[in-house]
Amino acid sequence: MKCPFCSHAETQVVETRLAEDASFIRRRRKCPQCEKRFTTYERPEVSFPAIVKKDGRRIEYVSSKLRGSFALALRKRPVSTEQVDSAIERIEETLLNLGAREVPSHQLGEMVMRELKKLDKVAYVRFASVYRSFEDVDEFKTLVDEVRN
């Protein structure tokens, strides 16, 4: 592993730990040249299905886009990072378990809405109002009434 500070080609592993959920390995490393320490994480490489947009384009699944959608919907809401991480993990696990090579974007959007509904009703309404492209106030009112009940 190359040192991120001095670019020395070899680094020494000082400590190795398994994550609590055993989904990745955390390694503390030390560079013998500059003697700085840094952390690396090893995760299995998985292949997510391509996302098929409404216009037929196929794009690569990007976890950071999903995280950005959650962040936007949950802005200034009392939801912890751990709760968001868990929701994203559940969505990604579902995507992998589908075993499909492609997933329609509306299916992914519905997964996000289900998770947001569990986390925070206001965030759910925020996301749904943009995702479903409401044409008038009555559609929005129907969604809010649904959340209230």
Residues with Cβ within 8 Å of 21's Cβ and at least 6 positions away in sequence, in order, are: none
Please check the confidence at residue 27 and state whether its pLDDT lies above 90.
Answer: yes
Q: Are residues 56 and 92 in the same domain?
A: yes
Q: What is residue 11's three-state secondary structure?
A: coil
Instruction: Tell me if 79 is assigned to some domain.
Output: yes
Q: Do 38 and 54 belong to one domain?
A: no
pLDDT in tens, 62-73: 999 999 999 999
Pair (92, 111) in one structural domain: yes
Which carries the bigger pLDDT value, residue 48 or residue 129?
A: 48
Distance CA(77)–CA(39), nearest Å, equals: 31
Spatial distance between the Cα atoms of 121 and 116, rounded to a whole number of angstroms: 7
115 shares its domain with 99: yes
Q: Is the pLDDT of residue 45 over 80?
A: no
What is d(CA 23, CA 9) in angstroms, rounded to the nearest whole number? 27
100-118 tens-digit pLDDT: 999 999 999 999 999 999 9
Secondary structure E strands in the chain? 12-18, 25-30, 37-42, 50-52, 58-59, 102-104
Q: Which residues, at least 6 apart from 5, have a Cβ–Cβ distance to it below 8 Å? A: 31, 34, 36, 38
- 25 is in which domain, residue-wise? 12-42
Tell me what pLDDT residue 47 has.
Answer: 86
How many domains would you assign to the chain? Answer: 2
